[in-house]
Amino acid sequence: MQNLTVQYGIEGIEFAAVNDISLAIAPGEIVGLLGESGCGKTTAALSLLRVLPNAATVTAGSAIFGGRDLLLLNESQLRAIRGAQIAMIYQDSSVLNPVIRVGSQVCEVLRAHSTYGLNQARDKVRRLFASVGLGEFERIYDAYPHQLSGGQKQRIAVAQALVCDPLLVIADEPTASVDPGTAGEILDCMRRMKECANTSFLVISHDPDALAAVADRIIVMYAGQIVEDGPLAEVYSRPLHPYTRALLQCSPKRARLQGFARRQHLPCIPGHSPDPAELFPGCSFANRCKDRMQICDVRSPESFQTSCNRSARCFKYDGRSEYV
Q: What is the CATH number of the domain that holds 232?
A: 3.40.50.300
- CA nearest to 224, candidates 89, 72, 36: 36
**Segments forming the whole domain that contains residue 290:** 2-85+164-323
Residue 249 domain-assigned (yes or no): yes
38 inside domain:
yes
pTM (2 d.p.): 0.91
Whether 115 is in a domain gets the answer no
Indicate the number of domains in the chain. Answer: 1
Residue 264 is predicted with a pLDDT of 67
pLDDT along the chain (324 residues), means of 10: 94 90 96 93 93 94 95 94 93 85 94 91 93 90 94 92 94 88 88 91 93 95 96 96 92 63 72 80 91 92 93 88 48
Phi, psi of 181 (to 5 degrees): -65, -45
**Bridge partners for 89 per DSSP:** 171
Contact 209, 249 (CB under 8 A): no
Q: Is 138 inside a domain boundary?
A: no
Res 321: pLDDT: 43
Q: Is residue 188 part of a domain?
A: yes
Residues 6+ apart with CB under 8 A from 199: 28, 162, 165, 166, 167, 168, 169, 190, 193
Is position 181 within any domain? yes
Would 98 be classed as within a structural domain?
Answer: no
Whether residue 49 lies inside any domain: the answer is yes
